[in-house]
């Protein structure tokens, strides 16, 4: 016996169709294996927006609680473009002076993350590795012979 594949959308359509035929909510929810709360949620979405409301909605949050306000982020990027040799520390200090009391000032690490996200952070130059200079090691003939 082959598997019968169904999509979430098809199941929700069948659920709503049975309710529209006149079956009771408790009975239909029991046969679909969902709670009555979920059943009412699906049915109310269908009544408000029609068949299109039965598709899955995005679970992405509308807004992140600790997200930096767009004007502050734009100001950080603008300041970096005006002064390309300035780093996160100086830009944050300038923000403290300009925005004191108006908004919460982001941390230095947040300013650096914004600059990095916009590709405005240059990689640090690596210093040349210095090799040790000295005499070659001598061979010992007995323990503690070199001291």
- Which positions ≥6 away from 127 have C-beta within 8 Å? none
* Euclidean distance between the first and the last CA atom of the chain, given in angstroms as a whole number: 86
Query: 86 with 49, same domain?
Result: no
Does some domain include residue 26?
yes
Does some domain include residue 33?
yes
Does some domain include residue 59?
no
Residue span of the structural domain in which 105 resides: 70-117
- CATH number where 104 lies: 1.10.10
pLDDT in tens, 15-71: 999 999 999 999 999 999 999 999 999 999 999 999 988 998 888 888 788 889 999
Helix (H) or strand (E) holding 111: helix 108-117
In the chain, the percentage of residues whose pLDDT exceeds 90 is 59
- In the predicted model, is pLDDT for residue 135 greater than 90? no
Does some domain include residue 83?
yes
What's the chain's length in residues? 147
Please identify which residue in the block is written with the tokens 């949050």. Answer: 61
Q: What is the pTM of this model?
A: 0.51
Does some domain include residue 141?
no
Q: What is the mean pLDDT of residues 90-118?
A: 93
Query: 40 with 76, same domain?
Result: no
Contact (CB, 8 A) for 45 and 53: yes
CA distance 46 to 62: 22
- In the predicted model, is pLDDT for residue 72 greater than 90? yes
CA distance 62 to 67: 11
Does some domain include residue 130?
no
Query: 113 with 78, same domain?
Result: yes
Does some domain include residue 133?
no
Work out how many domains the chain is built from and give that number.
Answer: 2
> In the prediction, which pLDDT does 1 show?
58
Q: What is the mean pLDDT of residues 105-113?
A: 95
Query: In 10 A of CB 115, how many CB atoms?
Result: 20
CA distance 120 to 91: 13
Does some domain include residue 138?
no
Contact (CB, 8 A) for 95 and 72: yes
Please identify which residue in the block is written with the tokens 């997200």. Answer: 67
């Amino acid at each position: 016996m082959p598997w019968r594949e169904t999509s979430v959308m098809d199941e929700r359509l069948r659920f709503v169709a049975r309710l529209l035929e006149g079956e009771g909510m408790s009975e239909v929810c029991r046969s679909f294996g969902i709670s009555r709360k979920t059943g009412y949620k699906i049915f109310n979405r269908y009544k408000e927006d029609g068949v299109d409301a039965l598709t899955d909605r995005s679970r992405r949050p509308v807004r992140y609680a600790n997200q930096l306000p767009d004007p502050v982020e734009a100001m950080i990027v603008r300041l970096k473009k005006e002064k390309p040799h300035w780093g996160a520390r100086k830009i944050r200090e300038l923000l403290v002076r300009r925005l004191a009391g108006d908004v919460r000032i982001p941390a230095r690490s947040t300013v650096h993350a914004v600059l990095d996200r916009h590709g405005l952070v240059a990689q640090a130059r690596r210093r040349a590795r210095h090799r040790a200079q000295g005499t070659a090691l001598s061979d010992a003939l007995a323990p503690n012979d070199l001291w």
